[in-house]
Amino acid sequence: MSETTVEAVGVPRARQMLELAGWASRAYARYDSATVQRIAEAVVRVAESKAEHYADWAVRETGFGVVEHKIVKNKLCSRGILDAYRDSDYVSPRIHAERKIVEVPRPAGVILALTPSTNPVSTVYFKVLLALLTRNAIVVSPHPFAKECCADAARELGKAAVAAGAPDGVVQVVDEPSIPLIDALMTDERTNVILATGGVPVVRAAYGSGNPAIGVGPGNVPVLVDATADLHRAATKLVDSKAFDNSILCTNESVLVVEESVADRFIRELERSGAYLLKDEERDRVRDVVFPEGRFDTSLVGKDASDIAARAQVRTPSRTRILLAPFDAAVDEEPLAHEKLCPVLGLVRVPNAQRGIRTAVALLRLGGAGHSAVIHSTDPGTVMAYAAAVRVLRVAVNEGGSTGCAGFGTNLAPSMTIGTGFVGRSSLGENLEPKHLVNWTQVAYSTDPAEVMPSFVGIHPEEAPLEPVPPYPVASNAGAPTLTAVPDLPEEVPTELREELRRLILEELTAIVRG
């Protein structure tokens, strides 16, 4: 099929989806807090009930990760997310009588969610729930390598939302991702915000689309273990984290930096927890397999440690969960110093904690700026010095990075989208959470004491529907207009921008294949 034919099919489809999403977002923006919570609860029940089904499907479709761990992530990103924000209200006005200010919530509107192949269904769960909790409509565009499980999951969540009273089209999904279709979704002005979780090319394309975007950068998480650490606990946490879903989360530890005085004891603790320390010649073979010609082999994403060892002709104990790969210096020329989305953990020994901090800083210069770091220490001075030195926006202390930096196991916001802030070239400096998908109009009264702000208690701008909203395009009781045709874009996207977006998106869609 020619590109012209694909575009003829893809672009009108994108416009239809966005028109329906716009209608749904306008209707949904009138719902009250109790109704929104009821809808979210109904969606979570379905998501939770299918956590195992989609975990198995995702592993079969992508070949990445561990089913049991994906079940955990699917549950954390369904029931876990709802429980985390159950007492938060992103719907009702906020009244600050002492400041004479009333804040009225304004949902973003239509969200385009680009989801990855590494954490496919859990990211769909997460972004759909955040959209519903903030009264937004969402169009999910899954990675082509995970399109079947993600499309089915999004459709099931959408059906559950509508059955609970949400407007028709509040959750939609791209069944067959294509460059023209994604390009049209990203550049259409009816897309109010893009949530880009994936590789660097897609994030860049999102930021260059002309629409507001929240994108995140890659990780390269250093973990420092100093002489004061509880070595047994740290080893258990570290191996569990590095082995979790076979290191597929970008928050997984990439390089261990350990203080020399405790290094041998700590390695023994790691081995008891399921790590295998590679001999020099074994490390070299593993390095060549994982980084052929110095570039990470993406076919190894989320593979078992035993699979990687077998490819490198390394014999390991049957209980091996991660491979420890020692190297000398955190320099760009050392492939093992870079991010590894597989259970291979680099290992560097340092004479003291201060040198360890400098090594972690050097590792982050190679990649992962703004992302995450981990430290195991009982010395608050070292923890503070580490946090101040490393150029990241989250530091997990005495906890595994995979889940800890993602807000599961720590009190960070639970999230599948990790903002890297200014240093990481991201518009988001926190873990993505519902508050980032709603703005607040501030109604501010004069500070003149003679001006008394009246009571706004009991006054709400929204009107909860008394019955389900009729299907699109019928005018609803929430005030949506009747629509009979899908309008064209108001103006064409410049050809040079469209071609650049195509190039960037194509680079991302084919990244795994190239490996």
Cα separation of 325 and 143, whole Å?
31
**CATH node for 31-216+432-446+470-514:** 3.40.605.10
55 and 165 Cβ atoms separated by less than 8 Å = no
Cα separation of 128 and 39, whole Å?
12
Tell me the mean pLDDT in the region 479-491: 39
Instruction: Pick 221-404's CATH classification: 3.40.309.10, 3.20.20.70, 3.30.420.40, 3.40.50.300.
Output: 3.40.309.10
Cα separation of 363 and 386, whole Å?
13
Tell me the mean pLDDT in the region 362-370: 96
Cα separation of 437 and 479, whole Å?
22
Among 149, 150, 250, 342, the one annotated catalytic: 250
Bridge partners of 140, per DSSP, are 113, 173
Residue pLDDT, tens place only, 21-36: 999 999 999 999 999 9
3 has a pLDDT exceeding 80: no
485 has a pLDDT exceeding 60: no
**What is the per-residue DSSP string for 106-139?**
EE--EEEEEE-SSSHHHHHHHHHHHHHHTT-EEE
Strand order in the sheet with 193-196: 171-173, 137-142, 110-115, 193-196, 213-215
Quote the DSSP letter at residue 143: -
Determine the pLDDT at residue 281: 98
Residue 206 pLDDT class (50, 70, 90 cuts): confident
Determine the pLDDT at residue 123: 97
Identify whether 250 is a catalytic site residue.
yes
286 has a pLDDT exceeding 70: yes
Q: Where are the domains of the chain?
A: 31-216+432-446+470-514, 221-404
Strand order in the sheet with 275-277: 275-277, 322-326, 344-350, 253-259, 221-225, 370-376, 392-397
Burial 472-504 (b: 16+ CB within 10 A, else e): bbeebebebeeeeeeeeeeeebeeeebeebbeb
**Distances 294 to 287, 291, 337, 457 between C-alpha atoms, Å:** 9, 5, 11, 63
Residue 466 pLDDT class (50, 70, 90 cuts): low
278 and 325 Cβ atoms separated by less than 8 Å = yes
- pTM for the model stands at 0.89
Residue 504 pLDDT class (50, 70, 90 cuts): low
Amino acid (one-letter) located at 53: H
Residue pLDDT, tens place only, 390-440: 999 999 999 999 999 999 999 999 999 999 999 998 889 999 999 999 999
Lowest mean pLDDT among 5-9, 348-352, 379-383, 396-400: 5-9
Tell me the mean pLDDT in the region 315-324: 97
45 has a pLDDT exceeding 90: yes
Residue 9 pLDDT class (50, 70, 90 cuts): low
213 and 427 Cβ atoms separated by less than 8 Å = yes
Determine the pLDDT at residue 507: 57
- Helices (DSSP H) in 291-352: which residue ranges? 305-311
343 and 305 Cβ atoms separated by less than 8 Å = yes
Residue pLDDT, tens place only, 75-130: 999 999 999 999 999 999 999 999 999 999 999 999 999 999 999 999 999 999 99
For residue 47 the two structure tokens come to: 């998501």
